[in-house]
Amino acid sequence: MLLKMTKAEKTQLIEELVTKFSESKFFYLTNFSKLTAEQTTNLRRLCYEKEVEMVVIKNKLIKKALQRISEDQYKDVFEHLAGPTAVLFSETGKKPAEVLKEYRKTNEMPTLKAAYIDSSVIAGDDQIDYLSTLKSKEDLIGDLIGLLQSPMSNLMSALNSGGSTIHGLLQALEERGE
């Protein structure tokens, strides 16, 4: 038997969703309609293991919560709020895609409706591979630091090697100046 939510319960749930969506730069909307109860439980377990929160909520309540935050910011998300929807929340943009990719090795569902990645909406199930390769902010900073350090490391190793051409060139310039 299904119990109807009271208006107060809906209002409370919308407020909780407003907080959740406000704090999240990354969330995925998925269609899980053809999963059995056991498959859904297995998906939830995998999400938990990978630090991805899975929430099943009515589209109407999701839309109301997002509209309360910003009508414009989420307008491209609204068109994907149809049919059964599970929302996957994560601290990084690619974790939910990795979960979906791993889970779909043995199941054809759930499918990706859309992903909200730091103010961009990426739509379509065919985007899972792309989304699973996204780098986190920390990864990008590490890559940048590595790129910045590389020329300095090369220069230092060239200067430290005794028989290097740079060392020889500096000696020749010094002798020439004398």
Q: Which of 54-63, 107-116, 137-146 has the lowest mean pLDDT?
A: 137-146
CA-CA distance, 149 to 161, in Å (whole number)?
Answer: 18
pLDDT reading at 1 higher than 50: no
The reported pLDDT for the residue numbered 49 is 93
For 127-136, write each residue's pLDDT tens digit.
Answer: 888 888 877 6
Domain limits, the chain: 7-131, 137-177
For 42-54, write each residue's pLDDT tens digit.
Answer: 999 999 999 999 9
The reported pLDDT for the residue numbered 72 is 87
pTM: 0.73
Give the pLDDT band (50/70/90) at residue 7.
confident
Long-range contacts of 113-116 (CB under 8 A, 24+ apart): 113/28, 113/29, 113/30, 113/31, 113/80, 113/85, 114/28, 114/29, 114/76, 114/77, 114/80, 115/26, 115/27, 115/28, 115/29, 116/26, 116/27, 116/28, 116/29, 116/74, 116/77
User: How would CATH label the architecture of 7-131?
Assistant: 2-Layer Sandwich (3.30)
Q: What sign results for the dihedral spanned by CA atoms 6, 59, 46, 116?
A: negative
The amino acid sitting at 125 is: D
